[in-house]
Amino acid sequence: VMTTLDSKKYRVERSENEWRKLLDPEAYRILRERKTEAAGSSDFNVLFPESGVFKCAGCGFPLYTAGAKFDSDCGWPCYDQVIYTEQRGCHVGVNVHGMRIEIICNNCGGHLGHVFYGENCTPQNERH
């Protein structure tokens, strides 16, 4: 079971063998091994729906609304505001690794990328 540095448990927990069977090799590499996809390689770079939500590729948990997505010209899909619900709290968690802040799915612990502050891309001043 993948856990954060604080050994948090998640609602969706699977063995690494189960994750390997469930995810394609690239999704496993990113979500479970915390690797980064190549800049510009995601189909999500050009997907800007007017409504709906973007969900975790590992467990289907809603993470961002369509309205939170923006084009930052960085090569990766970008969002500036996570989904927060009274029942489940913030749907995205963080792990701090030195100067980098990793973002993870708060439902399964899957690696989602990193968060950056102070770039002034949007009024929220953060880029996920």
pLDDT classification of 1: cutoffs 50, 70, 90: very low
Asked if pLDDT for residue 61 goes beyond 60, the answer is yes
CA distance 9 to 69: 28
Span 60-78, mean pLDDT?
89
What pLDDT was estimated at residue 43? 83
Name the strand (E) or helix (H) holding 65. Answer: strand 62-65
How confident is residue 7, by pLDDT bands cut at 50, 70 and 90? low
State the average pLDDT over residues 107-119: 91
In this prediction, residue 4 carries a pLDDT of 43
Q: Check: CB of residue 69 under 8 Å from CB of residue 52.
A: no
- pTM of the predicted model as reported, rounded to 2 decimal places: 0.85
Q: How far apart are CA 128 and CA 113, in angstroms?
A: 7
pLDDT value at residue 96: 81
Listing DSSP states for 66-126 in one string gives GGGEE--SSSS-EES---EETTTEESEEEEEETTEEEEEETTT--EEEEEEESS-SSTT-E
Main-chain phi, psi angles of 66, to 5 degrees: -60, -35
The predicted pLDDT at position 31 comes to: 94
Cα angle 9-10-12, degrees, rounded to a multiple of 5:
140
Q: Is the pLDDT of residue 95 over 90?
A: no
